Amino acid sequence: VCLRKKHQNRHLNFCGHIGDGAILYLNNQSSEAYYASLPENGEYVNQTYFVTDTNWQDHLRVSETGDEYEACFAMTDGVTAMALSKDKPFNGFIDPILNYISKNSEKNSKIALENMFCSDRALSISLDDKSICWFIKC
């Protein structure tokens, strides 16, 4: 969950996150400066935490990120293998997507992302679900 709230004449961004996906806040529509809420896997491989778990509150991470970030990228675990490298944004994946969706229509962006996530290369990296949500400050 990404939330933006106005407080004392400035905007505050909050990140609420549970599970094995990741959330990145990026500066200047570039992955050079960032804040990351990293995946939390369960005790075993292919295990994670959900809000439907009885102890979900124990795994909820909430943090204030400030208002300096211009883009927020939330992703499922199938995308994290492509978007993160050693727990940092992988510019070779993120920057081209930011550039493309900021310059193209919603329809063309959707087609390009579908083609990318269904490509043999993407499937060789992860067979897991691949969903993203992107917010860009206007």
How confident is the model over 68-91, as a mean pLDDT?
Answer: 85
Rounded Cα gap, residues 60 and 40, in angstroms: 10
pLDDT, residue 46, reads 67
pLDDT beyond 60 at 4 = no
Q: Are 55 and 11 within 8 A, CB to CB? A: no
Kindly report, residue by residue over 25-47, the tens digit of the pLDDT. 887 655 566 778 887 776 766 66
- How large is the C-alpha radius of gyration of the chain? 15
The band of 76, judged by pLDDT with boundaries at 50, 70 and 90, is confident
